[in-house]
Structures are given as C-alpha cells and as structure tokens.
C-alpha cells in the first residue's frame, strides 16, 4: 500500500502524488473501501481510485534508479515492431506507452527518432503515428525522470544529453 505524499505512476495519468488515503466522501462510492486521492503532476484536478485498483500503479523510480537508467541508455535496444500494419503498429506502440516501462519507452523513442531521421534524409513523409507515440513516450518517460531527479520536465533532456550525448534528438 502506498502512503500519503508518495509519488506514483498511475494508469494514463503518469506521475501523481498521493494526496490522501482513506474512505471516500463522494456519494455513490463504497464507504467501507479505502481510496487513494491522487494529484497528477502534469495537470490540475484529482483522481480517486480504490486502493485495490487493477489499473497500473507503481512507485516512481528513485533518484539512484533514474541516474542508473540514464547511464544505461546507450546499451538499451530499440523497440522495433514486427509488422508495419497500421493496426498492429498502433497496438505495439500503445502497449509500450501504457506499460510505463522506462526501458521499452526509451527503445521506442530511439527507434522512432531513427525512423524520422531516415524519412527526412530520403525525402519521405514522417509517420504521424510514429510522431504521436514518440511524444507520448517522451512525455511519460521524461515526466517520471523529472520527478525522480527533482528537475523541471524541460531540463530532463539536457540532463540526459550531458550524461548520454548520443541520446537521439
């Protein structure tokens, strides 16, 4: 069970702070259950979820884990889809982004940036799906790293580049 004040990754919200743990005061909720009241770091408002939720919820990386992860970026393999079918590609990207698996999101970022550079070099159009999921993976990954490293989100990429100069732009 998580505690008040703890930072967690929650479902589609990304990084959230646990504002409270306890029964809900909202009408229509089970008064015998415990709920987390979450405050997303990237938007205003709150999220109420049962303590026993089935939605992905995990603690964010520690500062040391984030620093170790950034140091390992050059060795992480790219995430390459097995199929170029638009439906399967979308499912592949969606599965990675909703998993909030930092290693896989970094691999997606690496491969999407490589495909973008290749398209621009060869005079082709840049895939809008690649771009959309690239942004989602960057927002999720850099949001978690920002919270773990106690940095503003816009400073995460320069921080990564100082540590790992070959990280793709």
pLDDT in tens, 30-74: 778 899 999 999 889 999 999 998 999 999 999 999 999 999 999
85 confidence band (pLDDT: 50, 70, 90): confident
Question: What is the rounded distance in angstroms from the CA atom of residue 12 to the CA atom of residue 32?
Answer: 26
Q: Are 141 and 109 in contact (CB under 8 A)?
A: yes
Predicted local distance difference test score (pLDDT) of residue 24: 83
pLDDT in tens, 103-114: 999 999 999 999
Predicted local distance difference test score (pLDDT) of residue 144: 97
H helix runs in the chain, sequence order: 63-72, 86-99, 102-121, 128-149, 156-163
Predicted local distance difference test score (pLDDT) of residue 143: 96
Q: What is the pTM of this model?
A: 0.90
What does DSSP assign to residue 58? E
Question: What is the rounded distance in angstroms from the CA atom of residue 28 to the CA atom of residue 60?
Answer: 31
Q: Are 74 and 25 in contact (CB under 8 A)?
A: no
Predicted local distance difference test score (pLDDT) of residue 38: 95
Q: For residue 111, count other CB atoms closer than 10 A to its CB.
A: 18
| Tokens at 44, concatenated | 């205003």
Question: What is the rounded distance in angstroms from the CA atom of residue 27 to the CA atom of residue 99?
Answer: 32
Predicted local distance difference test score (pLDDT) of residue 16: 96
| Tokens at 28, concatenated | 């229509």
Q: pLDDT averaged over the chain?
A: 92
């Amino acid at each position: 069970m998580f505690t008040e004040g703890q930072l967690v990754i929650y479902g589609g919200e990304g990084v959230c702070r646990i504002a409270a743990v306890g029964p809900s005061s909202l009408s229509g909720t089970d008064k015998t259950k415990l709920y987390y009241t979450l405050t997303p770091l990237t938007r205003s408002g709150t999220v109420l979820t049962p303590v026993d939720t089935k939605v992905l919820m995990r603690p964010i990386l520690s500062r040391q884990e984030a620093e170790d992860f950034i140091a390992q970026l050059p060795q992480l393999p790219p995430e390459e889809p097995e199929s170029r079918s638009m439906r399967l590609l979308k499912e592949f990207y969606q599965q990675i982004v909703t998993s909030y698996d930092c290693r896989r999101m970094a691999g997606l970022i690496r491969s999407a940036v490589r495909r973008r550079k290749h398209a621009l070099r060869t005079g082709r159009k840049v895939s809008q799906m690649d771009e959309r999921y690239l942004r989602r993976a960057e927002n999720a990954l850099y949001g978690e790293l920002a919270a773990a490293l106690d940095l503003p989100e816009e400073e995460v990429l320069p921080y990564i580049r100082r540590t790992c100069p070959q990280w793709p732009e």
